[in-house]
Amino acid sequence: MDIINALVVFANFVFVPGLAYGAQLALGALGVTLVYGILRFSNFAHGDTMAFGTMAAILVTRGLQAMGISFGPLPTALIALPFAIAATAALVLATDRGIYRFYRKVRAAPVILVIVSMGVMFVMNALTRFIIGVDEINFADGGRFIIAAREFKELTGLAEGLAIRTTQVITVVTAAVAVGLLFWFLGNTRTGKSMRAYSDNEDLALLSGINPERVVAVTWIIVAALATTAGVLYGLDKSFKAFTYFQLLLPIFAAAIVGGLGSPLGAIAGGFLIAFSEVTVTYAWKRVLGYLLPADLAPEGLVQLMSTDYKFAVSFAILVIVLLFRPTGLFRGKSV
Amino acid sequence: MRAPLLFAAVACLFVLTGEMQSWNVALAILNMALVSAIMAMGVNIQWGYAGLFNIGGMGFVALGGLAAVLVSMPPVPEAWAAGGVGVVAGLALGALTVIGAITLVRRMPAGRMRTVLLLAVLIAGFILYRRVFDPAVSAVEAVTPAATGYLGGLGLPILLAWPAGGLIAAGAAWLIGKTALGLRSDYLAIATLGISEIVIAILKNEDWLARGVKNVIGLPRPTGVPFEVELQRSAAFLDWAAAWGFDPMTASSIVVKLAYAGFFVVVLGLIVWLAERALRSPWGRMMRAIRDNEVAAEAMGKDVTARHLQVFVLGSAVIGIAGAMMTTLDGQLTPGTYQPLRFTFLVWVMVIVGGSGNNWGAVLGGFLIWWLWVMVEPIGLWLMEVVTSGMADGLLKNRLIEAAAHMRLFVMGLVLLFVLRFAPRGLIPER
């Protein structure tokens, strides 16, 4: 019984939150890695693209709610998602036309594009703040729990409860669907294949008649979709604030680099690796160990390896270790 | 001829602010502009001379601020008695564990034996470290937590904190450079971004070090900078102010700001002089050669990684000095106020706009962009009020006026994008 209780505590505080957070990071890292693979620079504006997409979703959600449309037990934001993706795609395509395309044409060094993306980051952040302000916004509606802690206790008769929130399940399911679609697209469609060819060898792809502008445009649309989905899921799971997405940049980049920049599979693995490490290292293991160890060995302290404020340090430490021992990342990404 | 004209134009901006708003405001902006110019010099040394992409400026600024506390605040003897030894011993144990692990990896052949030993050393070291460190920290933080709750500093003059800030930042930069400089440029960027966030996290959470988010306030001032209240009480000053027809309150605050400005100008001048000398020396030419073509420089027998490490440490030290100066000016260390947009990315805008690779460009960028950063908000508010004056009161009007508060980021982003697109070499290009 104790072992089951320990497992339930573990699932409640480590596994389920880690899974949801990992799915959000994986979606974010996929966007970063796609931009890197096709456009060949690290996009610092990615966090703020996510923020912009989430903001669009919130505005559409409010509109839908005002019209009395809801999605039953599911959050209305899911209906708003396609509209938000369209708005974000329009924004990033316009950004590419107005800003990035020039640097592609003059074949600027990747590091210049990184600095340009810093400028884009400033402007996008400001746009989000202009439109929706800086207050914390909670836009999750519908049912809050699939199963609440008390129900679980009554159901199983265990001492510990397991709460699974709707948003957590939605996050994992949506992320799985998005990743499935992406891999199907990259693997089976003509456009997807041309994207992979362009990423592997630009010159060869151009020689075989692939239109680079088309590849770039499609990439931006996919990146907008991934960023918006990741942003909305994160916002549903936690809450929306205009500047929290900038802070997500570090774990997202860590996930993409750990997995191997340019490798979609790596981005997903990296996302879950970073998320689970963050949650495991900053969780206080007292209760789990209390069930597992005999009573006289039970720990006195919290058995927390690091305080939660150091979660950056965790993503960062993993990043450094991987880079030192395997500089191209776990899945052999590209290294320009 | 271009540079002096541009500097004169920026000087006009400050004079205009002084005449139209108040000299107090203009001098406050000027003091922070001087500090920002030094930060920009640091980034310019790394990016402009050597092409190193460091976006961890905020961390080095904060380390400089920490130095100001550690050097100038009086020590807390009770806290040292309660847990000083334990804290120092704990940190030493932690450092020994890391050094032991590194030696193990270096000395032993790879294999299962090494992995097992490495894990054993790390786990044992960590447990030992926590056993010694945690009780000591609780003891220190329990000493009058409302007033101190930390170990305090050395009680030395705060001017010594400026070079000390540079040294601490240099030490951190050496550690980062050792691990991250061999990697490609994007990775250095992410690594520095991460380190700077970690530095802030440490400052916020390690209360025994500098009181965390409880802030250290009331830092001493440099010798020669009086307190406003003292001036307002001194008869000589009141007579002097009356003779010139100044309001004593305003005059005292202006005198204090001018005193700070004097110190800052000296430091900025010294750093610019040294940096100009370095840039024109064989060393500077070597750095530019490495930046422009690493492979060719390596073929000429230059040790690229070592030079990169050197210039990374130097630039970070300059940023650390600026950080210590800023905390001295503020008179307090508030870890909650360190934002990457303000202390990392804004400094980058200064360097790019001013002209990367040119020391005078970085200084000009520091002055211009800091002025703009402060003034955009009031200008934006005024603009929005003019635009909306004809509108009926309502949601749109409120929204537009509120939006003025976020003008800063928008304008900075646009300035950066326009400069990169149309004048990529900046206002004062590298010669």
The CATH number covering residue B369 comes to 1.10.3470
How far apart, in whole angstroms, are the C-alpha atoms of residue B67 and residue B71?
A: 6
Q: Domain of B330?
A: 2-75+152-422
Q: Buried (b) or exposed (e) across A164-197, using 16+ Cβ within 10 A?
A: bbbbbbbbbebbeebbeebeeebeeeeebebbeb
For residue A221, what are its two tokens? 């649309």
**Residues of chain A neighbouring B205 (CB-CB closer than 8 A):** 307, 309-310
Measured in whole angstroms, how far is the alpha carbon of residue A8 from the centre of its chain? 26
The residue assigned the tokens 């390596």 is B298
Q: Which of B151, B184, B212 is where one domain is finished?
A: B151
Q: Is the dihedral of CA B302, B286, B269, B52 positive or negative?
A: negative
- Provide the 10 A C-beta neighbour count for residue B329: 23
Does B375 reside within a domain? yes
State whether B190 and A102 contact (CB < 8 Å). no
pLDDT value, residue A174: 92
- Per-residue model confidence as pLDDT tens digits over B137-185: 989 988 888 888 899 889 999 999 999 999 999 999 999 888 888 777 7
Are B233 and B299 part of one and the same domain?
yes
Identity of the residue numbered A61: T
Bigger pLDDT: A90 vs B357 = A90
Has residue B271 been placed in a domain?
yes
Q: Which two tokens stand for residue B244?
A: 């010139």
Going by pLDDT thresholds of 50, 70 and 90, the confidence category of residue A334 is low
B408 contacts on A by Cβ (under 8 Å) = 126
Q: Which of B185, B193, B204 sits opposite A111 (nearest CB)?
A: B185
Q: If you measure CA to CA, which chain B residue comes closest to A319?
A: B191
Minimum Cα–Cα distance from B204: chain A residue: A309
**Which of A112, A313, A335 is the closest to B201 by Cβ?**
A313
Nearest CA in chain B to A109: B185
Tokens of B43: 């980034």
Q: CA of B412, closest CA in chain A: separation in Å?
A: 7
Q: What is the dihedral of CA B274, B280, B285, B286, to 10 degrees?
A: -30
Q: Residue B194 and residue B201: Cα distance in Å, rounded?
A: 11
Pairwise pLDDT comparison (A42 vs B391), residue with the higher score:
A42
A335 to chain B, any CB pair closer than 8 A? The answer is yes
**What value does the mean pLDDT take over residues A255-274?**
91
CA gap A141, B134 in Å, rounded:
43
Q: Averaged over A10-27, what is the pLDDT? A: 93
Q: Are A307 and B206 contacting, i.e. CB atoms less than 8 angstroms apart?
A: no
What pLDDT sits at residue A276? 94
B194 and B146 share one domain:
no
Residue A181, φ and ψ in degrees, nearest 5: -60, -45
Flag whether B372 is in a domain: yes
How many CA atoms lie within 13 Å of B79's alpha carbon, on the beta-carbon side? 25
Instruction: Give the other-Cβ count within 10 Å of A64's Cβ.
Output: 17
A333 band by pLDDT with thresholds 50, 70 and 90: low
Pick the residue of A59, A118, A253 with the most B CBs within 10 A to test the interface with B by mutation.
Answer: A118
Do residue B96 and residue B178 come from a single domain?
no
- Chains A, B: CB contacts within 8 A come to 116
Interface test with A, best of B190, B192, B193, B412 (most A CBs within 10 A): B190
What does the pLDDT look like over B395-428, one tens digit per residue? 777 777 777 778 888 999 999 999 999 999 999 9
Q: Which of B26, B23, B16, B44 is nearest to B364 (CA)?
A: B44
CB B331 within 8 A of CB B217: yes
B87 and B227 share a domain? no
Q: Which of A238, A223, A276 is nearest to A22 (CA)?
A: A276
pLDDT single digits (tens) B49-82? 988 999 999 999 999 999 999 999 999 998 999 8
B143 lies in some domain: yes
Is A118 close to B183, i.e. CB distance below 8 A? no
Contact A126 B407 (CB under 8 A): yes
Q: What is the 3-state secondary structure (H, E, C) of A259-277?
A: HCCCCHHHHHHHHHHHHHH
Whether chain B has a CB inside 8 Å of the CB on A306: the answer is no
> In B145-165, which positions are buried (b, 16+ CB within 10 angstroms) versus exposed (e)?
eeebbbbbbeeeebbbbbebb
Question: What phi and psi values does residue A137 have, to the nearest 5 degrees?
Answer: -125, 130
Residues above pLDDT 90, as percent of chain A: 49
- Are B64 and B127 in a shared domain? no
Q: Which residues on chain B place their C-beta less than 8 Å from a C-beta of chain A? A: 51, 53, 134, 179-180, 183-187, 189-191, 193-195, 197-198, 201, 204-205, 340-341, 345, 348, 352, 402-403, 406-410, 412-414, 416-417, 420-421, 424
Q: Check whether residue B256 and residue B362 sit in a common domain.
A: yes
Residue B94 lies in a domain: yes
Residues B167 and B215 grouped into a single domain: yes
Q: How does residue A134 score in pLDDT terms, banded at 50, 70 and 90?
A: confident
> How far is CA A118 from each of CA A43, A56, A273, B358, rounded to the nearest angstrom?
8, 21, 27, 21
Indicate if B170 and B276 belong to the same structural domain.
yes
Q: For chain B, how many structural domains are there in total?
A: 2
How far is C-alpha B49 from the geometric centre of its chain's CA atoms?
19
Quote the minimal CA–CA distance from A191 to chain B in Å: 28
Cβ separation A115–B185 shorter than 8 A: no
Least CB–CB distance from B197: residue in A110, A312, A320: A312
What is the pLDDT, as a whole number, of residue A293?
79
Rounded mean pLDDT, B344-367: 94
Contact B76, B143 (CB under 8 A): yes
Q: Are residues B258 and B319 in the same domain?
A: yes
Q: B207-248 pLDDT, tens per residue?
A: 899 998 899 998 999 988 888 888 888 888 888 888 888 888
DSSP B187: H
Q: How far apart are CA A151 and CA A138, in angstroms?
A: 25
Q: Cβ separation of A112 and B204 shorter than 8 Å?
A: no
User: Of A112, A334, A46, A93, nearest to A202 (Cα)?
Assistant: A334
What residues of chain B lie within 8 A of the CB of A261, using their CB? 186
Rounded to the nearest integer, the mean pLDDT of chain B is: 91
User: In this structure, what DSSP letter does residue A70 have?
Assistant: -
CA–CA distance, A89 with B251 (Å, rounded to integer):
56
Which of A335, A85, A104 is CA-nearest to residue A223?
A: A85
SS3 content of chain B, % helix, strand, coil (to 5): 80, 0, 20
Q: Are strands A145-147 and A164-165 parallel, antiparallel or unpaired?
A: antiparallel
How many whole angstroms separate alpha carbon A238 and alpha carbon B254? 47
Whether pLDDT at A279 is above 70: yes
Q: Are residues B146 and B201 in the same domain?
A: no
B43 has pLDDT over 60: yes
Residue A179 C-alpha, separation from nearest chain B C-alpha, in angstroms: 25
pLDDT of residue A331: 81
Average confidence (pLDDT) over A16-34? 94
Q: Of the candidates B96, B128, B151, which is a domain's last residue?
A: B151
B201 and B103 within one domain: no
In this complex, is the C-beta atom of A301 within 8 Å of any C-beta atom belonging to chain B? yes
Looking at the domain assignment, is residue B428 inside a domain?
A: no
- Residue A246's CB is within 10 A of a number of other CB atoms, namely 22
Please return the burial class of B377, using the count of CB atoms within 10 Å of its CB with bins 0-12, 13-18 and 19+.
Answer: middle
List the structure tokens of B86. Answer: 């334990």
- Residue A336's pLDDT band (cuts 50, 70, 90): very low
Q: Which of residues 86-105 of A touch B (CB under 8 A)?
A: 99, 102
pLDDT, position B128: 92
Angstrom distances, CA of residue B52 to CA of B88, B192, B209: 34, 11, 31
Tokens of A155: 């159901």
Residue type, A108: A
Looking at the predicted structure, is the pLDDT value of residue A111 above 80? yes
Give A262's contacts in chain B (Cβ within 8 Å).
none
pLDDT at A70: 83
B119 with B262, same domain? no
Long-range contacts of B391-398 (CB under 8 A, 24+ apart): none
- Domain final residue, candidates B124, B151, B178: B151
Q: Is A315 on the interface with B (CB under 8 A)?
A: yes
pLDDT in tens, B245-297: 888 888 899 999 999 999 999 999 999 999 999 999 999 999 999 999 989 99
Q: Which residue has the tokens 């000027």?
A: B30
Residue B177 C-alpha, separation from nearest chain A C-alpha, in angstroms: 12
Shortest CA distance from B415: residue in chain A: A119
What DSSP string describes A238-301?
A: S-B-TTHHHHHHHHHHHHHHHH-TT-HHHHHHHHHHHHHHHHHHHSB-HHHHHHHS-GGG--SS
Among the partner-chain residues B201, B345, B410, the one whose CB lies closest to the CB of A310 is B201
